[in-house]
Structure 1
């Protein structure tokens, strides 16, 4: 955990920046290489664990029946919540979420919700009365840099394995909702139309040096950051630029091309991890 208190000296800053000019990174990667990605799942549906290099995030999905918003009477809801443990980074304080927690939640929320990745209409039970409200909790266990991409993958992996109870509508007025026990009726997966993958770039120098998936050390010296959320079809779901100098449009276009390739790769890794999850394989073999 020592690295989490790391603040670069002038020499360290210059070393990292001069290495980047020679297309070398402190951890030996090339500019556009991601760190090693490991995706695993908990015993319960809708729980995921993602390790991206030294960054470690847990995702957990739950759902409950609520009244829908008036202007979206036949749609369920999706909300993202982030929790930063002080164990993950001494800079995180317990209690109220800090700026970084709010920004993290906002970037993931925008990429997932505004791109309509999850079918909200399929979460409707009785229009205007009962819809499923889906909640994604993201717990940051270790901040090794690039929390956005790791937390986004954790959210998608957890959503991919989540199952909600099946409901039927009956009663005298035809409006009563019966929620079935998972033992009686198989729970239902979410309908996910596409996977919006967040790919984060850090800028150095005058914005002419760009790397993907920055570590905590690179984040400490970077001039700015941009996250492109893109799916495997190459559709741009969201772009977020945080701080730093302006970046030339040609550099942004280059980042979007790279993000498109990375999104396809990460999507296939999530799908492979879900299909090979021992918990799911055991359940399939039971029926």
Structure 2
């Protein structure tokens, strides 16, 4: 559980005055995200390390064979686990599951599973008996704001990178054989679209009738808030979109009110960023697959030369 922390009055005042002048403390634009730095494992499918500014995340995807729900015999299982330890930030208490961890996992799982981003029917092995159970473990290693956006992007990246073992059904469908990845090429997951979460922060110092506005009298909202920006904000909203211009989710947990015009404005602005992040995932995965394919060919040539 996160212990309550507050920044000093001087820091808060300086931050608010900077916003009124159109400035952020890290020199980003109000609608600019931090640049993701991605590291994909070459030895383990589904393991990704992501640096989002100073927020650091490790994601691991695993697959086990289990039994489907009785009311959904043709669908596999999918779940997300989130862990935030005091190593990420000293003010987090890891003695038990916190509300932050539950909320983050719930928002990301809703974005992926309820939007049918992951094809659960493709995870079915034997209807009503055996299906793949896909688990995504999010482990935050350092915290500098914006858990939800970083977690969702990391989860989708890891799901694209993950491959499950190939299987064979024998004895008339009574038994299955799970093949080792050295015996048969593993199979990638069927992903129908890529949901991207974007979190906007709003400010209203003094609980005035209208939210904080800049010099041009436009309401101020920040995309991808860092730690200080999150500590000062009075409200936030998570917008989940995909490249098909589909609005998947709006999540607002209390806080100050947001006008409909502002909501429409930030939704339209989000589309460009969603396109960029989606293309980044595809580009990184494509490059990784190409490098892996070249390494496999090189190993095969070396084996042939040894013979």
1:232 and 1:174 mapped to 2: Cα distance?
A: 39
Matched position secondary structure for 2:284: helix
Contact 1:5 1:90 in 2 (8 A): no
1:40 and 1:5 mapped to 2: Cα distance?
A: 33
Could you report, residue by residue, the CA deviation over 1:20-79 in whole angstroms, capped at 9, with x for unpaired residues? 112100111110011121121123110111111111111110000001001110110110
Unaligned runs of 5+ in 1: none
Instruction: Give 2:304's aligned residue.
Output: none
1:125 is the counterpart of 2:125: yes
The partner residue of 1:217 within 228, 231, 241 is 228
Please report how far the alpha carbon of residue 100 of structure 1 lies from its aligned counterpart in structure 2 after TM superposition. Answer: 0.7
The partner residue of 1:251 within 255, 262, 266 is 262
Please report how far the alpha carbon of residue 242 of structure 1 lies from its aligned counterpart in structure 2 after TM superposition. Answer: 2.5
Please report how far the alpha carbon of residue 5 of structure 1 lies from its aligned counterpart in structure 2 after TM superposition. Answer: 10
Instruction: Give 1:77's aligned residue.
Output: 77
Contact 1:231 1:237 in 2 (8 A): yes
Q: What are the within-5 Å matches in structure 2 for residues 72-111 of structure 1?
A: 72-111=72-111
Matched position secondary structure for 2:182: coil
Runs (4+) of structure 1 exceeding 2 A deviation are 4-7, 205-208, 280-283
TM norm structure 1: 0.94
Contact 1:6 1:217 in 2 (8 A): no
Could you say which structure has the larger radius of gyration? 2
Could you report, residue by residue, the CA deviation over 1:154-209 in whole angstroms, capped at 9, with x for unpaired residues? 101110010101111112x4321111111111110001011000011000124331
Instruction: Give 1:273's aligned residue.
Output: 284
RMSD over aligned CA atoms reads: 1.5
Instruction: Give 2:293's aligned residue.
Output: 284
TM norm structure 2: 0.88
Q: What are the within-5 Å matches in structure 2 for residues 1-287 of structure 1?
A: 7-42=6-41, 43-171=43-171, 173-205=172-204, 206-207=210-211, 208-277=219-288, 280-285=289-294, 286-287=296-297
Please report how far the alpha carbon of residue 7 of structure 1 lies from its aligned counterpart in structure 2 after TM superposition. Answer: 3.2
Contact 2:126 2:173 in 1 (8 A): no
